[in-house]
Structure 1
């Protein structure tokens, strides 16, 4: 079959009330033969099989001779036999997943990622694509606009109409938002950027523009160039949302309205730091994963899992730089940054799974373990985001130590950009390790063996001491205690604990996780049990710690709980809470050389340094 000059996709929100997008795919002038159409099973950047084709409601096709009968080949593919002349395929997609990965449509807005909406024509992956976006029918939608990083082909800025993509891979790398939204424009290195906010919120938009300019500018300074001519943040604002997905010229964000800055706000509050960190994370991906790409994911088969051990680097290093850019850009101060660092260390240290799964294995098994977590996840897995960020910290401080401050992780990132980002070469499974040794001037196999393939805790204390920061672990003082930066050590006896975590929602104290080796596990308490009483006194979410503290002086306590509809009784010996909460402290009498190393680490990146 000869390739047509282009493929045409027409998208219309056909029924916002029923959450249905109507899509029409035109394949001009294919030669006689057959066509196979397929929809991706996963979306790049989110490593789980999502089976987007399950949302295709109906599919029909016709060519010059009339109606074609599509034959379903598998869960996501259709075959059209004996095709003659131009082919038109029409189908509807149900869109009711409010996330950054799929599609969502109602009477307030429409959103989609191309992987969930655009059929791929097998064998025509390199053919240019044209996209026609239409608004819903009806006067109530006359003020809707469009926000996408797709290249415009006839459409006005933020308008419905014609767009284009280089090929299918480019087509599905530009999410689309349509509806009523506000636009916050800003520039980075003379490149236009926009933050598009959909949903109800009250925020200081001028502060958002100023802070995002600084954060994005910091990343551009690190790499020494900004390889784009436009960039778009698409943010859906909800009551309690959080999430992001990177693209080459844009990113999709889901955020809580309370995380946006108020007009009277001084230093960034916790929620606003979280939002800035999310934007920072996805923007860093503009270089690291979208252009510096793992070889395994270049030309990836979107119909099945594609495994790589390198997600620790692509997500972990990005997770390290997302908060580091906030302090380097001046959006937060040194103390706030070190508090965030301590909290991340606590999150890793308090999960027994870090002793079971290495961060490289976590990367490889992301499809079936990290993205499909169950009640045993804290005991079985480690996050390649969170521990990967600690590996990046260890690597950064190790390179600085080995080179007496002459080189750093910044230099490694610039080398990755020069050798893999600009050239388009896929990064091999061990290329980062080899390049890091080159930057450090010595073999770092011992560090990588322990950090990537081992399950022992990273020895961060001496590395942090090199920059004047003391680290210690202490017992948590409550379920929300993640440690942080302190000015003085506050010793105290460890509180008693059952070794459980409760469901985050609901009024009853239902058990979410039972940690390996805990008092609850030994007594037989299980995930899903709902606690009723301790030593005859009713348990609530608020009084659990207090009841346990008073009753634990007797040694063994009696815990009543419902398992399904059966009342269970357990004899439990509470244990002292483990030392799994990180505190960092600035060393007061640090030498001038130590303080200089800290300033170099947390200071702004120099272009081409």
Structure 2
């Protein structure tokens, strides 16, 4: 089968138009069909990329037009031709995200799923794409960043031809065009590139490279502790730095990232900001996907069907467990401290326990419903659904701590990930791809660890009970304490949008606002006759005590409402994970003491450390868990 040849040209930056051509040397004699994916792997929502195709024409090998018709929203059928068939089409690219395509006079970016028409019946043919430089002196310094292998003498980072073994590989390598900062490091001998596009002043690229090297080597060693062999020959971190943005999307040998430019490290400044920790966590998350979801896949993704939703109940394992390891790897690699890590876990606990949706939807159900619920959230999402990312990460934490407690650290969640890698991931692209069946997961965990995890699967994965995190953390000498912040104020039972107007973005189920008859979208304008804005609400609430009754005025659309609010207790913003000292005190500040709410009953886990939570035994427990 002859290669499918693509050409992509940044045609009109001001109009945000790419021109794409695809040539089939041996089209179907009965008429060739073409298809554009309706979703991109890793982002579980039907996105209808076809809507960005502006014009589309077909030609034979003499340049004459060929009749082509659309047969459904994402499929075209070209009339039979003798010889080669070429489609030329324009794609509107004005999506500054990691999922689709963007083009202006400063940068170009595209993910193949949104750009390259699949030639049906030729999906296994080699694909060659010729990436052209835009015309004009303004683009003289532009380069190409991609993990796609170069072809026919194309130099790395240069315009020219790149090759993929098949269509699936072609669309799994995003491309950045433009001027960008570049650094390369080796992780266990494998080159890794860092590409930063966008304006960044004083970028400390050496520090970023050093930190990412430690993260990557820690992950490689987790999956291949003996050989330290990475699953790729080369990897590319490509980041678009913007004024306000955050996100990432995994690919088999690269990741596309977007971040706030202020999150990146500054040369000459040694501090590790919250933004930089978040960015490193994002990089760690997407890199972990190189194993977990790009090679270890649920059976529903082996292979992907890009014409419709692909349902699986396992995203808690593939996204949630990745969310657990992304921050855990940071502390194991030594790029953040133990205290930083525990603070991050505490924030996750708080975000999960604030939503009553966790009591209605399991993480398995959340995984299956990602297409219609998680990726289509509305103002009631907090009350109706749970995130398979955040609660999934706490499920992973509970599994890890339970396995360690039952086996005396002889086994851990690491062993589960290594078994999944050996059985499903290591040879995924070398032979017939095999994915993880949902019915096999519990048995795989038991095989890898020998631990009794039935209760956690029943309650934590398939049920809606809260996880017994307080009991599970006790052997490590860690207490879990609710924290409303330094100046906890009574709550109106709602989250508001900041700004001149105090609009209710989310109204919590059973909270003061809901009980008073207020709803998401209402605009609060006064409390006890004093004007409320999105910026002064906290100050006004600081004048009251929980349980106080307040007269509130609010607009719903253009109708004024007057209600009586009975203020709630201060909202728990996070949970503090506090390491107790040998004397029985805490090693750091904690919030108002109290019994942690919503942390479940003790499971079959571990007995408290007999030597005291500040003993050498508990310190050793943490060291074996956190690996530092």
Q: What band does the TM-score fall into relative to the shorter chain?
A: over 0.9
Superposed displacement of residue 136, structure 1: 0.8
Q: Mapping of 1:48-67 within 5 angstroms?
A: 48-64=45-61, 66-67=64-65
- 8 Å contact 2:350–2:572 — kept in the other structure? no
Alpha-carbon offset, residue 97 of structure 1:
0.3
Is 1:429 paired with 2:438? yes
Q: Does 1:592 align with 2:616?
A: yes
Offset at 1:551? 4.8
1:86 to 80, 84, 87: 84
* Structure-2 residue corresponding to 1:539: 532
**Residue 466 of structure 1, CA deviation:** 1.2
| Offset of residue 402 of structure 1 | 1.1
Structure 1: tracts of 5 or more residues without a match: 479-493, 605-609
Partner Cα separation in structure 1 for residue 440 and residue 269 of structure 2: 44
Partner of 1:354: 358
Q: In the alignment, which of 286, 289, 293 is matched to residue 293 of structure 2? A: 289
Once residues 553 and 32 of structure 1 are traced to their aligned partners in structure 2, the CA distance between those partners, rounded to angstroms, is 76
The answer to which of 135-144 and 570-579 deviates more is 570-579
Deviations, residues 476-527 of structure 1 (Å, cap 9, x unaligned) = 567xxxxxxxxxxxxxxx63211010125x3321110101011111111111
Shift of residue 567 of structure 1? Answer: 2.1
CA positional deviation for 1:591:
2.4
Give the whole-Å Cα distance in 1 for the aligned partners of 2:278 and 2:542.
Answer: 33
1:483 is matched with which residue?
none
**8 Å CA contact 2:11, 2:134 repeated in 1:** yes
Q: d(CA) in 2 for partners of 1:379 and 1:20?
A: 41
- Could you say what secondary structure the match of 2:423 adopts? helix
Superimposed CA distance per residue, residues 238-294 of structure 1 (whole angstroms, 9 cap, x where no aligned partner):
011110000001000001111001123334110110010000000011111101111
CA–CA separation in structure 2 for the residues paired with 1:21 and 1:248: 24
The answer for the alignment partner of 2:592 in structure 1 is none
Query: Which string of whole-angstrom CA distances, capped at 9 and with x for unpartnered residues, describes residues 183-221 of structure 1?
Result: 011111111111100001122111001111111111011
Q: Distance in 2 between matches of 1:344 and 1:551?
A: 29
Q: TM-score, normalized by length of structure 1?
A: 0.94
| Greater alpha carbon shift after TM alignment, 414-423 vs 26-35 | 26-35
Q: Does 1:172 align with 2:166?
A: no
1:76 paired to 2:74 = yes
1:280 corresponds in structure 2 to 284
- In structure 2, relative to structure 1, the CA distance for the partners of 1:474 and 1:193 (3 Å cut) is closer
Following the alignment from structure 1 to structure 2, what is the Cα–Cα distance between the partners of residues 156 and 602? 42
Alpha-carbon contact 2:347-2:573 (below 8 Å) kept: no
Give the alignment's TM-score, normalised by structure 2: 0.91
Between stretches 574-583 and 286-295, larger displacement belongs to 574-583
Residues 442 and 210 of structure 1: CA distance in aligned 2, closer, same or farther (over 3 Å): closer
Query: Root-mean-square deviation (CA), in Å?
Result: 1.5
Change (3 A) 1:267 1:599: farther
1:257 match: 261
**Does the residue aligned with 1:362 lie in a helix, a strand or coil?**
helix
Alignment of 1:8-157 (within 5 A): 8-30=5-27, 32-64=29-61, 66-153=64-151, 154-157=153-156
Q: What's the CA shift for 1:31?
A: 5.2
Per the TM alignment, residue 542 of structure 1 is displaced from its structure 2 partner at its CA by: 3.1
**102-111 or 76-85: bigger deviation:** 76-85
Deviation at 1:412, TM superposition (A): 1.1
8 Å CA contact 1:399–1:439 kept in 2: the answer is: no
Counterpart secondary structure, 2:283? helix
Which range moves more in the overlay, 443-452 or 307-316?
A: 443-452
Aligned length: 585
Deviation (angstroms), 1:580? 6.5
Counterpart residue number, 2:506: 513
Secondary structure of the corresponding residue to residue 24 of structure 1? strand
Residue 367 in structure 1 maps to residue 355 in structure 2: no
Q: How does 1:80-479 map to 2 (within 5 A)?
A: 80-153=78-151, 154-202=153-201, 203-224=203-224, 225-424=229-428, 425-475=434-484
